[in-house]
Amino acid sequence: MKTPLLLCILLLTLSAAGFAFQWPVENPVLTATFCENRRNHFHGGIDLGGGEQEVHPIEDGEIIFYYTSDYRSSQLPTGLGNFLVIEHPRGIRSLYAHLARDPFDFVDYGVEKGDVLGIIGDTGASQGKHLHFEVADKELRQLANPMRLLPELPDRRAPSINDIRLVPGEYNGRRASEIPVSDAYTPKSGGSIAAGVWTVLMDVYDLSEYVSYFCPMSPYRIQVFLNGQMARSLVYDGLGENEARLEFIQATEVSFANFYLNDWLVNLGAITIPQGAVMLEFVASDYAGNEASRLVSLNVSGR
């Protein structure tokens, strides 16, 4: 897998040049974010609701592939329903999925921002009408968080940190000895913990600003500070392919298999906690910069 620095440079270059794609729908109703738990894989894009809206290209480009319900092939990702892929300048590709049935009627394959690609639908493995939208860099073979390249959406709701647990040692799939530390700012066990390596588990999600029902989504950034110093940081910026599996581009040891323990409980990896009085701060933020935090005071004994 190529270095994550290259994707970061591309995103920064586009931002510095004042370049931004337009939203693919006029009324973007965000209902799912990048890297969410999809049971057996990371969510590779974002989901947009808002009813039967027209879908437009985010930028001028060329349609390089499309699939409709008329096709029958077990080799194609039919879970996307009717979908198409557009290639734009600078090696960026965008994907539009779950479109209403057979929406494509193009004279040629060149498209412009104002063209209508189709209507939001629920074809494929969809549980309701929405647009699944992805952005990829074809050269790096990486998926980028679309929020990095789309105009900013108003958002006033901070993520929710619901539970924090420490597991002694490197996490190996067994949680019998985990210690909840998120209540009353001290371990529920009532005693101290031992100095050494501890794996951090956090139950965390963001909530959609745009719907009235309970709609949990993944945050954008999770950080752990130990006595004011950064101990762990995970940013949902991009996913890269490594030996046929997707991993976080800036934390290549974090794959789907070792990250999600259930819907929203994530494995943030191991930190080394020293002996003495220790302050741990856990911070979760969304792309708009809204933050939630928990401050935990620990009495750490010797081994």
Please say which residue of 119, 148, 177 terminates a domain: 148
Residues 43 and 73 both lie in one domain: yes
Tell me which of 2-6, 22-26, 90-94, 100-104 is least confident.
2-6
Residues 175 and 125 both lie in one domain: no
* Residue 99 in this model has a pLDDT that exceeds 60: yes
State how far the Cα of 49 lies from the Cα of 45, in Å rounded to an integer: 14
Place of tokens 């490594």: 242
Please say which residue of 124, 148, 172 terminates a domain: 148
* Residue 102 in this model has a pLDDT that exceeds 80: no
Place of tokens 């220790």: 278
Residue at 227 is within a domain: yes
Using CA atoms of 234, 215, 199, 147 in order, give the dihedral in degrees to the nearest 10: -10
Residues 65 and 128 both lie in one domain: yes
* DSSP state letters, 89-145: GGGEEEEEEEESSS----SSSEE-TT---EEBB--SS-SSSBEEEEEEETTTTEEE-
First to last CA, the chain: 39
* DSSP state letters, 181-226: -SSTTS-TTSS-EESEEEEEEEEEEEE-SS-SS--EE--SEEEEEE
Provide the residue range defining the domain that includes 55.
4-148
Instruction: Give pLDDT, residue 18.
Output: 45
State how far the Cα of 228 lies from the Cα of 249, in Å rounded to an integer: 25
* DSSP state letters, 250-273: TEEEEEHHHHBSSSSEEEEEEEEE
**CATH number for the domain including 134?**
2.70.70.10
Token pair belonging to 283: 């911070």
* Residue 98 in this model has a pLDDT that exceeds 80: yes
State how far the Cα of 124 lies from the Cα of 144, in Å rounded to an integer: 23
What is the longest distance spanned by two Cα atoms in the chain?
73
Our count of domains for the chain comes to 2
Instruction: Give pLDDT, residue 2.
Output: 44
Q: Summarize the confidence of residues 101-113 as an average pLDDT.
A: 73
DSSP class of residue 228 equals T
Tell me which of 28-37, 115-124, 182-191, 240-249 is least confident.
182-191
Residues 92 and 181 both lie in one domain: no
Tell me which of 8-17, 101-110, 274-283 is least confident.
8-17
Burial class (CB in 10 A: 0-12, 13-18, 19+), 242: middle
* 132-253-78 Cα angle (round to 5): 25
Q: How confident is the model at residue 28 (pLDDT cuts 50, 70, 90)?
A: very high
CB 141 within 8 A of CB 241: yes
Please name the residues in contact with 210: beta carbons below 8 A apart, sequence gap of 6 or more: 28, 29, 30, 31, 49
| Beta-ladder partners of 156 | none
Question: How many residues in total does the chain contain?
Answer: 303
**CATH number for the domain including 285?**
2.60.40.10
Q: Summarize the confidence of residues 2-14 as an average pLDDT.
A: 50
Instruction: Give pLDDT, residue 272.
Output: 96
Q: Which long-range contacts (CB under 8 A, 24 or more apart) does 13-22 make?
A: 14/90, 14/149, 15/148, 20/149, 20/150, 20/151, 21/58, 21/59, 21/94, 21/135, 21/149, 21/150, 22/56, 22/58, 22/59, 22/113, 22/150, 22/151
CB 287 within 8 A of CB 208: no
Please say which residue of 148, 170, 188 terminates a domain: 148
Residue at 133 is within a domain: yes
* Residue 242 in this model has a pLDDT that exceeds 50: yes
State how far the Cα of 132 lies from the Cα of 121, in Å rounded to an integer: 10
